[in-house]
Amino acid sequence: MRAEEFHIGSIIKAKLKEQERSEAWLARKVHCDPGNFNRILKRNSMDMDLLRRISICLNYNFIGEFAQYVDQEIEKQFLNMSKSE
């Protein structure tokens, strides 16, 4: 998975569906305008403080999931660099 393939908005939407919650519910919980929140979820990146608040509301560590993805990318890069030496 490349960076542009890690789409945090899609991951949040999937977790909302799993918990049978709506985007409007989450927008209210994190004190965002629902229309603006919908646009935020369409992006593949977002503000870390907002992501922290979303994580708390949904009781799921989205930041940890992203960190695992970054660790995998670093490992791939390291392996590629090692092969080329």
- The pLDDT value given to residue 6: 84
What three-state secondary structure class fits 54?
Answer: helix
What three-state secondary structure class fits 1?
Answer: coil
- Rounded to the nearest angstrom, the gap between the alpha carbon of residue 78 and the centroid of all alpha carbons in its chain is 24
pLDDT by position in tens, the chain (length 85): 444 578 999 999 999 999 999 999 999 999 999 999 999 999 888 999 999 999 999 999 999 999 999 999 899 888 887 776 6
Q: How far is CA 56 from CA 2, 26, 49, 52, 79, in A?
A: 26, 11, 11, 6, 35
What three-state secondary structure class fits 57?
Answer: helix
